[in-house]
Amino acid sequence: MKRHTISILVNNQPGVLQRVAGLFGRRGFNIESITVGESEEPGLSRMVIVTTGDDKTIEQVGKQLYKLIDVIKVVDLSVSPMVARELALIKVHAEPSARPEILGVVETFRASVVDIGASTMIVQAVGDTDKIDAIIELLKPYGIRELSRTGVTAMIRGNR
């Protein structure tokens, strides 16, 4: 069971997310994360889905996706060197006395503080999944009030 990051170019039609997500659901494919947004071409959106499965399953994922009329292109990014990033907003308990320490963590991860409340801070972190997992681990001792992650978006490096 390997993790695969799959990029899907789709027609930006109502219901297209339901078609793709529904396909994964009914065929028993796993979705670890899913992101959707506009692509470089008007009228088309790009979805990035992180999934796990053996080779046979991943082959089926691609083939079944292509059967959807609104799917234009499917690329398994993980077979090439890729940039994969997600963004996390972490609301952490931060009494004034704890803030310098927290800022130390934030700086190390090249994250940033985007909001400060009376006893909280919102930390914004961008990076691959491992990096986000790591900063969350380090912030846990201070008390995480709320966590929101976007899921991974990705593309292949270089000219391709």
Instruction: Write out the residues near other proteins by the rule CB under 8 A.
Output: 10-11, 14-15, 18-19, 22, 26, 56, 59-60, 63-64, 66-72
Q: Who's near 12: CB < 8 A, 6+ residues apart? A: 38, 43, 44, 45
> Which CB sits closer to other proteins, 9 or 136?
9
Distance CA 46, CA 54 (A): 24
> Which CB sits closer to other proteins, 18 or 112?
18
Where are the alpha helices (H) located in 27-160, listed in sequence order? 55-67, 99-108, 129-139
> Which CB sits closer to other proteins, 56 or 159?
56
Q: In terms of DSSP bridges, do strands 71-76 and 33-38 run parallel, antiparallel, or are they unpaired?
A: unpaired
Min CB(78)–other proteins separation in Å: 20
Min CB(36)–other proteins separation in Å: 16
> Which CB sits closer to other proteins, 12 or 33?
12
Min CB(40)–other proteins separation in Å: 15
The kind and range of the H/E element at 153 are strand 153-156
